[in-house]
Structure 1
Amino acid sequence: MTQVKREYKWLPIGSIVKLKNIKKAVMVYGRDQIQSSSKKNFDYVSVPYPEGNITEEFNLFFNHNMIEEVLFEGFINDEEIMMQKKLNKKRKKPSDADEV
């Protein structure tokens, strides 16, 4: 039996998630982000929900495998699907593709 490889599913901008070990829900506003202070690459950057952008210090960077629950999935149209395909091509570590 041949196993079909699933494409990684990125969350759209505007998605609201609950992260493991974080009490506050966050809203995704960027994907495939480099945190300026650490120079590390993360799947997502987010802001507290419902407050939104407060200051740069409140931005929360995280990877897909840190998501405990998707509370709301953002808008998906043809442009979003094309963007997800671009992000999938760029993605280097599809190891957590089956989470969420």
Structure 2
Amino acid sequence: MTQQLLPNGSIVILKEGEKKLVIYGRKQILALEEPQMYDYLACPYPEGYVSPEFAYVFNHEDIKDIIFTGYQDEEEEEFQAVLAEVRTE
């Protein structure tokens, strides 16, 4: 069974990291020579988005601690089904 992605608004600390990050996007493609998909897009907490230099992409397995889990309702549950389809493609 695959891990559900955290909802937007979740706050995490990455492995090897100390700074809290707030997730504001999921299933992000980083356009490099070979595009690569990441589970999350986040920015520093509590500062929020400042500039592209302070936006981070990472995968679920890179998370060390989940400090806070973002808001979840029926729309989020429905969107989790969409995200699960993207994860298996």
In the aligned structure 1, how far is the partner of 2:71 from the partner of 2:64? Answer: 20
Alignment coverage as a number of residue pairs: 88
3, 10, 20: which one aligns with 2:5:
10
**1:80 is the counterpart of 2:76:** yes
In the aligned structure 2, how far is the partner of 1:90 from the partner of 1:15? Answer: 20
Segment of structure 1 superposing worse, 35-44 or 73-82: 35-44
Q: How does 1:1-100 map to 2 (within 5 A)?
A: 6-37=1-32, 39-92=35-88
Amino acid corresponding to residue 56 of structure 1 in structure 2? P
In the aligned structure 2, how far is the partner of 1:23 from the partner of 1:90? Answer: 30
TM-score by structure 2 length? 0.91
Offset at 1:92? 2.9
Structure 1 consecutive aligned stretches of length 4 or more whose deviation exceeds 3 Å: none
Which structure 1 segments of 5+ residues have no match?
1-5, 94-100
Which structure 2 segments of 5+ residues have no match?
none
Q: Aligned with 1:33: secondary structure? A: strand
Residue identity (%): 39
In the aligned structure 1, how far is the partner of 2:72 from the partner of 2:81? Answer: 13
Amino acid corresponding to residue 53 of structure 2 in structure 1? E
TM-score by structure 1 length? 0.81
In the aligned structure 1, how far is the partner of 2:40 from the partner of 2:87? Answer: 13
Segment of structure 1 superposing worse, 37-46 or 63-72: 37-46
When the two chains are superposed, the root-mean-square deviation of aligned CA atoms in Å is 1.5
